[in-house]
Amino acid sequence: MQDQIRSLLKKRRGILLAHNYQPREIQDVADVCGDSLELSIQAAKTDAEVIVFCGVHFMAETASILSPDKTVLLPRTDAGCPMADMVTPEALSKRKAELPSVPVVTYVNSTAEVKALSTICCTSANALEVVESLEDEEVLMVPDRNLALNTAARSSKKVHTWEGHCPFHNLLTVGEVESAKNRYPEAVFMAHPECPPEVVALADVAVSTSGMIRYARQSEAQAFIVGTEVGMRYPLEKACPGKTFHMVSPRMLCEDMKKITLADIVNCLETLDGEVKVPEAVRKPALKAVERMIALAL
């Protein structure tokens, strides 16, 4: 099926982008694997006609916002992100009215409608840089409370938070981390910034998924405790042969990230079903917020 996918991609002049949490057989057939920021940048600069996005809905939407003339396909349109659904445009408008001159920094894990109401987007790879890029002394960060608190801990700005979270990263406890550290005393602990602040406080480094790959590659350490979704073991092992990765908790498994199969990819390339398209009235304001973030990375 991987060969079939590669030949269908050639026929459609397509590119396959896969998030680091995707199943290994999908990562192996992808043109580019990466974190949310890297995949947004790829979606913005590709000259392919079709983008097959193996990830979740907000990622395909971001690709559609950046590349409106391309066909963006999500092989399973029901692959969503529970955190993205924790902020609605109505609730955000209400909060904005309470904080009239405060800029809104919106995590890319959000719907296009919410991005359209935002000043700038951020990802886990650049949240601090984005907050620091604003002249204002106060910001509102939505929807991830943990990302906001972890960013606030490294910034002098006042950060207003929102009651959203990733149901899997938010599960990780200090007790689980301490027991992993006792079992693997020589290991370095890498945490994702979606984890609670008390967990991030125990980490040697708190970075995005691709940030973990870069860190593990460069580090002299041979063993790592990994505080993120369990799918990260595969790209880490692939990038760092010989090093050992202990996933801190088997409970950190995002079902939405595991929905797409190779058969779904074949099907969407054959039929062009599963198109994600953001309407122009939403896309234009959302693009401003996404482009403003990408401009910082380029």
Footprint of ligand SF4 on this chain (CB under 6 A)? 56, 81-83, 109, 166-168, 229, 254, 256-257
Give yes or no for residue 46 binding ligand 13P (CB under 6 A): no
Radius of gyration of the CA atoms of the chain, in A: 19
CA atoms 266, 271, 272, 274: torsion sign: negative
One-letter identity of residue 44: A
In the set 126, 146, 208, 249, which binds ligand 13P (CB under 6 A)?
208
- Beta strand 14-19 pairing with 205-206: unpaired
For residues 20 and 64, which CB has a smaller minimum distance to ligand 13P in the complex? 20
For residues 59 and 269, which CB has a smaller minimum distance to ligand 13P in the complex? 59
The torsion of the CA quartet 235, 47, 267, 108, rounded to 10 degrees, works out to: 60
> What does 36 interact with, of ligand SF4, ligand 13P, none (CB < 5 to 8 A by kind)?
ligand 13P
3-state helix, strand, coil in the chain (%, to 5): 45, 15, 35
> What does 35 interact with, of ligand SF4, ligand 13P, none (CB < 5 to 8 A by kind)?
ligand 13P
Residue 144: φ, ψ to 5°: -90, 110
Q: Residue 235, SS3?
A: helix
Give yes or no for residue 106 binding ligand 13P (CB under 6 A): no
Binding mask 56-95 for ligand 13P (x = CB under 6 A): -------------------------x--------------
> What residues contact 111, with CB distance under 8 A and at least 6 apart?
58, 61, 84, 85, 89
Give yes or no for residue 35 binding ligand 13P (CB under 6 A): yes
Residue 97: φ, ψ to 5°: -65, -30
Q: Least distance from C-beta 144 to ligand SF4, angstroms? A: 8
Q: Least distance from C-beta 28 to ligand 13P, angstroms? A: 18
Q: E strands of the chain, at which residues?
A: 14-19, 32-34, 50-54, 71-73, 104-107, 120-122, 138-142, 158-160, 188-191, 205-206, 223-227, 244-247
Q: Least distance from C-beta 250 to ligand SF4, angstroms? A: 14
Structure tokens at 238: 């692939």
Cβ distance 108 to 130 under 8 Å? no
Give yes or no for residue 249 binding ligand 13P (CB under 6 A): no
In the set 209, 234, 259, 290, which binds ligand 13P (CB under 6 A)?
209
Q: Least distance from C-beta 159 to ligand SF4, angstroms? A: 19
In the set 62, 71, 124, 170, which binds ligand 13P (CB under 6 A)?
124
Q: What secondary structure letter does DSSP report for 185?
A: T
Q: CB under 6 A: which stretch of 85-93, 117-125, 137-145, 273-281 binds ligand 13P?
A: 117-125
Q: Least distance from C-beta 267 to ligand 13P, angstroms? A: 23
Give yes or no for residue 109 binding ligand 13P (CB under 6 A): yes
For residues 190 and 269, which CB has a smaller minimum distance to ligand SF4 in the complex? 190
Binding footprint of ligand 13P on the chain (CB under 6 A): 20, 35-36, 81, 109, 123-125, 166, 194, 208-209
